[in-house]
A and B are shown apart, each in its own frame.
Chain A
Amino acid sequence: DQQVKQNSPSLSVQEGRISILNCDYTNSMFDYFLWYKKYPAEGPTFLISISSIKDKNEDGRFTVFLNKSAKHLSLHIVPSQPGDSAVYFCAASADRAAGNKLTFGGGTRVLVKP
């Protein structure tokens, strides 16, 4: 039972254009969402997060949008740069008192072409 899904396994985008990564979840108890970026042979690196009380959070070139009614979130990267080529994971957390358990999506591989 995949509670967090990233339906696009890969995405190719031209340098300078927008990258849009999508993530869907099924568990209504999730109330905190994160995006991580992963290069080969490295651990995931935190990018940006959003609480369920917000619908948008922005940090530099990265913006995350949350649509709670649709149980959908997206990550926008503008403008895309070659160094953004990596695998991106969406993750969700429920019940802050329960600690740091994260449920991850399957990842989207992004290739930014120069």
Chain B
Amino acid sequence: KAGVTQTPRYLIKTRGQQVTLSCSPISGHRSVSWYQQTPGQGLQFLFEYFSETQRNKGNFPGRFSGRQFSNSRSEMNVSTLELGDSALYLCASSQTGWGYNEQFFGPGTRLTVL
């Protein structure tokens, strides 16, 4: 089975721009979660999607948004980029949207905002 894939792997943007990151979960997995990893704040939960619906949301501003498609693939969008948005963005998939399922992480997208 192919693992979680994220594209692109690396991205450089400038302040004020917007960016879209993509995540393809493991086949059969219906839940996709997004996390931001920074040196200062560690790994922080952004949001989770299950069956095209946002189930959970972390404490991030509205500039961070996401969506999930009918094939479970997910995208996250960050508008009006700030320097502090530079981070590793990780996507994780699991089979269901409830219970204690192992989450499988992708390799991440490294976003640099200049």
| A107 CA / B104 CA spacing, docked (Å) | 18
> Is there an interface contact between A43 and B42, defined as CB atoms closer than 8 Å?
no
| A41 within 8 A of partner (CB) | yes
Complex interface bits, B71-114 against A, C-beta within 8 A gives 1, otherwise 0: 00000000000000000001010100111111111111000000
Residues of B in contact with A, size category? 20 to 34
Closest to A97 in B: B98
Closest to A105 in B: B42
Chain A 31-77 residues near chain B, CB threshold 8 A = 32, 34, 36, 41-46, 49, 51
A104-B42 contact in complex given A97-B98, A99-B48, C-beta closer than 8 Å:
yes
> Is there an interface contact between B55 and A107, defined as CB atoms closer than 8 Å?
no
> Is there an interface contact between B90 and A44, defined as CB atoms closer than 8 Å?
yes
Residues of A in contact with B, size category? 20 to 34
| A110 CA / B48 CA spacing, docked (Å) | 30
A-B pairs with beta carbons under 8 Å apart, 18 shown: A43-B105, A46-B104, A96-B98, A96-B100, A98-B55, A98-B98, A99-B97, A100-B31, A100-B33, A100-B48, A100-B56, A100-B94, A100-B97, A101-B45, A101-B48, A101-B58, A106-B42, A107-B42
Known: A46-B104, A96-B100, A97-B98. 15 other contacts (CB 8 A): A36-B105, A43-B92, A43-B105, A43-B106, A44-B90, A89-B43, A99-B31, A99-B50, A99-B56, A100-B31, A100-B56, A100-B101, A102-B35, A106-B42, A107-B42
